[in-house]
Chains A and B, each alone.
Chain A
Amino acid sequence: MKRDPVASGTAVRSGTGVASGAPAVSGGVTAALGALGVVVGLRAVFGAPLHASIGWLVPFAGLRIDLDPLGGAFMALTGAVAAAVGVYAIGYARREHWARFPLVMLPVFVLTLLVVPAAGSVTTFLFGWEAMALTSLALVLTEHHRDEVRSAGLFYAVLTQIGFVAILVALVSLSSASGSGDFAGIRAAAGDLGPALRNGVFLLTVVGFGSKAGLLPLHAWLPRAHPEAPSPVSALMSAAMVNLGIYGIVRIDVQALGGGPRWWGTTLMVVGAASAVFGVLQASVSADLKRLLAYSTTENMGLIAMAIGASMLLGASGLASVAAIALTAALLHLVAHAAFKALGFLAAGSVLAGTGLRDLDRLGGLARRMPYTTVLFGIAALGATGLPLGAGFVGEWLLLQSLIHTPQGDNTLLSLVIPLSIGALALTTGLGIVAMVKAFGIGFLARPRSEGAEKAREASPTMLVGMALAALGCVVVAVAPAALGPALTRVASTLPSVGGDQGPKLGAILRLPGAAGSVSPAILAAAFAVAISLVLLLARWGVGARPAAVVRPLWAGGGPALTPRMQYTATSFAEPLQRVFDDVLRPDTDVAVTHVAESRYLIEKITFRTAQADAVEEHLYWPVVRAVAAVARGVRKAHTGSIHLYLLFGTIGLLVVIVVGR
């Protein structure tokens, strides 16, 4: 098959040296680590907290593990994602001929992902965090011979390090002010810390952890790094790593600091809502399947941040029971997002491996050639829409309920923030449906739009098993969220500042304490299944009495047969939306008409070019980069090479030091 170098997902071809069993070993170890993470994490959620200390492993401070229900839950979630990805990676690595380096790095990355939520001290946490950033960066750069990958790696490295600096400053000042290097000690001393320090730490953690979670404005690495990374890595990053950004915010701001003034929650809600709306808008106009999924991650992390912000705001306003609903919504949506986004990226990886394409404008018709992948991606897309029977429904429904049932009274802040966030949530959900209908409808249905899509190959069995595992997670969250109830209750109980000890009970029917409204996904699903089977039965009934079906050519408006070029493409599907949100999206479109030389009424050709840039990146990052470059150029002017001038600089510097230090 001819592969387009830009669209292809082929990894660095391993020349020699990688044994044929290596992918199985790498994927197997990854999956085993994941399974171990699930077991250990769940034990920490339901059993006694785990403590361990290994003095020699990390320089100076030693490795300190403290697993409480909160960390355990994140560990189990990460482990579950890793298990599915590990199984999938066996087939994927084999088909894409991975070199030895990514095969080794994949399990290492999973290990660092498991260490972060288990960390009990600031040093261990920072160590795990940076190790996670570096291993993921190395994995993003797997295909470093392509320019896009190198540029994505640069973006990722810079933004993740900016985030790391913010986290470093926050955690180090927190631990020095509280006189304790572990989270338990910080929590004990948190009440005595000054408001300035607490506020500073909050802002720094929102920036630092927000950059990892893909929240605005430090989200730009996400839509670059996720598409360019190999798909199992994208799945791990999008379904497990970004969660840890949320984990950091919950661990430090909600748990260790025990919440704060009301503007904390409001800030988080604003950042979350902006990320959600911006992310979903970008996703709905994106024509690249993996870029679309990456922006959808920004959207969902935005929703989760909004839910956590709401729970903090409501908790600080003394509305503990509603705050608890918002917290449950955040945790549930986190699990749902991990399930459907892992599945989404894995299915996108199967498409990439099967067709060499991830450009929706050139895909299509995969339903025939890749039926299993199509069904599995459909489950992921349904989950991402937030419609009933999809994984994302319950979390978004709970968030909406918590916002609707907030008694606003004469509280100005609440009566301003809550209705606006309901609007943001509604807009996000609506546009999310557009984005996912586009991804599924254009990518998988209709007719193939290119040769690559026409010759698609179904994913290999291990890839399908990996995706099926993730799909199982989606179905459980969608149909039986009650199964997660006990774990969520245990996690929430460690977060009393947001009413975690009085959360809604997730039974077969979700009921909200202190608020009207209940829903039962299980009964919904059962009713749906019964309705479908009834329709099928009715359709079969009396089939014999009807005349036999006649096959006629497809109606093509009287013209010759339909061609794939007549179909909607991802770009044309999103065009109306792009027009409506022109001011936010700022697409770069260009139409050039060439007329025939003899007459202006005849057209020789029309060239249409469109590119969707990221408006935040364009208007926030590049000015900063340009300013830095300008300053650097200015500084360079002083470097003339004249030794006399340098001596003068030295003297002036010395004088300044003497005068200041006097």
Chain B
Amino acid sequence: MSWATRILKVGRIVQASPAAPARTVPSPTGTRASLQIRHVDAGSCNGCELELSGAFSSVYDAEQFGARLVASPRHADALVVTGVVTHNMRGPLIDTLAATPEPKLVIAMGDCACDGGMFRNGYGVAGAVGDFVPVDVELRGCPPTPDQIVETLRKVTGR
């Protein structure tokens, strides 16, 4: 019975979720509590990735609010783009958005994605995400915390 006692001892891992924020962004598909996300790393320092994986970990568990990471833009309703857009990732970013079926949403995550952040004007940098694809939601922070990420996603999923 050691596993049972251990479960009892550890208790609840998932953080108690705060009250749902107001639904400020209309869900692209018009449904509630369902958002399929394809993540694109356009040239990030990987700080944002760490926090994103934290947001989807068992502690913050963004999936309980209806957000899911999917493997292909063909399955996605929204793109989460992290990092500044580098010259090499400019084409793939545009292609990925083209490969995502309509209606769709672009979430720029992190200061880099929103306006170039600390890498702005770097030699390999082409620009911010908004310079190349239309951005619907901006999520500031360097990097944004999992709490912030979950909160932003909940604004879209409405849960």
Task: List residues of chain A with CB under 8 Å of any chain B CB.
Answer: 550, 552-553, 555-556, 558-559
Using CB atoms, name the residue of chain B closest to A550: B102
- Residues of chain A lying within 8 A (CB to CB) of residue B98: 552-553
Q: Are A558 and B72 touching (Cβ within 8 A)?
A: no
- Residues of chain B lying within 8 A (CB to CB) of residue A556: 95
Using CB atoms, name the residue of chain A closest to B92: A558
If over half of B's interface residues share one DSSP class (helix, strand or loop), that class is named, otherwise mixed; here it is helix
- Residues of chain A lying within 8 A (CB to CB) of residue B74: 555
Alpha-carbon separation in the docked complex, A558 to B96 (Å): 6
B43 at the A interface (CB under 8 A): no
B99 at the A interface (CB under 8 A): yes
- Residues of chain A lying within 8 A (CB to CB) of residue B92: 558-559
Using CB atoms, name the residue of chain A closest to B96: A558
**Could you name 17 residue pairs across A and B whose Cβ atoms are closer than 8 Å?**
A550-B102, A552-B98, A552-B99, A553-B95, A553-B98, A553-B99, A555-B72, A555-B73, A555-B74, A555-B95, A555-B99, A556-B95, A558-B40, A558-B92, A558-B95, A558-B96, A559-B92
Alpha-carbon separation in the docked complex, A394 to B139 (Å): 63
Alpha-carbon separation in the docked complex, A555 to B74 (Å): 8
Alpha-carbon separation in the docked complex, A552 to B74 (Å): 11
- Residues of chain B lying within 8 A (CB to CB) of residue A553: 95, 98-99
Alpha-carbon separation in the docked complex, A80 to B87 (Å): 66
Alpha-carbon separation in the docked complex, A185 to B43 (Å): 89
Alpha-carbon separation in the docked complex, A149 to B96 (Å): 52
Alpha-carbon separation in the docked complex, A556 to B40 (Å): 14
Q: Which residue, B40, B72, B73, B99, has most C-beta atoms of chain A within 10 A?
A: B99
- 0/1 per residue, B108-120, Cβ < 8 Å to A? 0000000000000
Alpha-carbon separation in the docked complex, A558 to B74 (Å): 12
Alpha-carbon separation in the docked complex, A550 to B104 (Å): 15
Alpha-carbon separation in the docked complex, A556 to B96 (Å): 9
- 0/1 per residue, B77-111, Cβ < 8 Å to A? 00000000000000010011011001000000000
Q: Quote the shortest CB–CB distance from A503 to chain B (angstroms).
A: 54
Using CB atoms, name the residue of chain B closest to A552: B98
Alpha-carbon separation in the docked complex, A555 to B94 (Å): 11
Using CB atoms, name the residue of chain A closest to B95: A558
Using CB atoms, name the residue of chain A closest to B72: A555
- 0/1 per residue, B34-60, Cβ < 8 Å to A? 000000100000000000000000000
- Residues of chain A lying within 8 A (CB to CB) of residue B95: 553, 555-556, 558
- Residues of chain A lying within 8 A (CB to CB) of residue B102: 550
Q: Quote the shortest CB–CB distance from B66 to chain A (angstroms).
A: 25
Alpha-carbon separation in the docked complex, A85 to B135 (Å): 65
Alpha-carbon separation in the docked complex, A552 to B92 (Å): 14
Q: Quote the shortest CB–CB distance from B49 to chain A (angstroms).
A: 16
Alpha-carbon separation in the docked complex, A559 to B96 (Å): 10
Q: A550-B102, A553-B98, A555-B99 are in contact. List 11 more A-B contacts (CB 8 A).
A: A553-B95, A553-B99, A555-B72, A555-B73, A555-B95, A556-B95, A558-B40, A558-B92, A558-B95, A558-B96, A559-B92
- Residues of chain B lying within 8 A (CB to CB) of residue A550: 102
Alpha-carbon separation in the docked complex, A552 to B96 (Å): 11
Alpha-carbon separation in the docked complex, A552 to B55 (Å): 32
Alpha-carbon separation in the docked complex, A556 to B73 (Å): 11
Using CB atoms, name the residue of chain B closest to A555: B99
Q: Quote the shortest CB–CB distance from A196 to chain B (angstroms).
A: 69
Alpha-carbon separation in the docked complex, A555 to B98 (Å): 9
Q: Which residue, A550, A553, A558, has most C-beta atoms of chain B within 10 A?
A: A558
Alpha-carbon separation in the docked complex, A559 to B89 (Å): 10
- Residues of chain A lying within 8 A (CB to CB) of residue B99: 552-553, 555
Using CB atoms, name the residue of chain B closest to A559: B92
Alpha-carbon separation in the docked complex, A556 to B99 (Å): 9
- Residues of chain B lying within 8 A (CB to CB) of residue A559: 92
Q: Which residue, A550, A555, A559, has most C-beta atoms of chain B within 10 A?
A: A555
Alpha-carbon separation in the docked complex, A243 to B96 (Å): 56
- 0/1 per residue, B15-49, Cβ < 8 Å to A? 00000000000000000000000001000000000
Alpha-carbon separation in the docked complex, A556 to B74 (Å): 11
Alpha-carbon separation in the docked complex, A550 to B100 (Å): 12
Q: Quote the shortest CB–CB distance from B104 to chain A (angstroms).
A: 12
Q: Quote the shortest CB–CB distance from B1 to chain A (angstroms).
A: 41
Alpha-carbon separation in the docked complex, A161 to B96 (Å): 65
Q: Quote the shortest CB–CB distance from A281 to chain B (angstroms).
A: 34
Alpha-carbon separation in the docked complex, A553 to B40 (Å): 18
Q: Quote the shortest CB–CB distance from B38 to chain A (angstroms).
A: 10
Give 7 closest A-B pairs by Cβ, nearest first.
A558-B92, A555-B99, A552-B98, A558-B96, A558-B95, A555-B74, A552-B99
Q: Quote the shortest CB–CB distance from B42 to chain A (angstroms).
A: 11
Alpha-carbon separation in the docked complex, A553 to B74 (Å): 12
Q: Quote the shortest CB–CB distance from B136 to chain A (angstroms).
A: 20
Alpha-carbon separation in the docked complex, A550 to B103 (Å): 13
Q: Which residue, B73, B92, B95, B96, has most C-beta atoms of chain A within 10 A?
A: B95
Using CB atoms, name the residue of chain A closest to B73: A555
Alpha-carbon separation in the docked complex, A552 to B100 (Å): 10
Alpha-carbon separation in the docked complex, A552 to B104 (Å): 15
Q: Quote the shortest CB–CB distance from A489 to chain B (angstroms).
A: 55
- Residues of chain B lying within 8 A (CB to CB) of residue A552: 98-99
- Residues of chain B lying within 8 A (CB to CB) of residue A555: 72-74, 95, 99
Q: Quote the shortest CB–CB distance from B150 to chain A (angstroms).
A: 26
Alpha-carbon separation in the docked complex, A447 to B132 (Å): 32
- Residues of chain A lying within 8 A (CB to CB) of residue B73: 555
Alpha-carbon separation in the docked complex, A329 to B93 (Å): 59
Using CB atoms, name the residue of chain B closest to A556: B95
Q: Quote the shortest CB–CB distance from B91 to chain A (angstroms).
A: 8
Q: Quote the shortest CB–CB distance from B115 to chain A (angstroms).
A: 24
- Residues of chain B lying within 8 A (CB to CB) of residue A558: 40, 92, 95-96
Alpha-carbon separation in the docked complex, A550 to B72 (Å): 19
Using CB atoms, name the residue of chain A closest to B40: A558
Q: Quote the shortest CB–CB distance from A230 to chain B (angstroms).
A: 46
Q: Quote the shortest CB–CB distance from B109 to chain A (angstroms).
A: 18
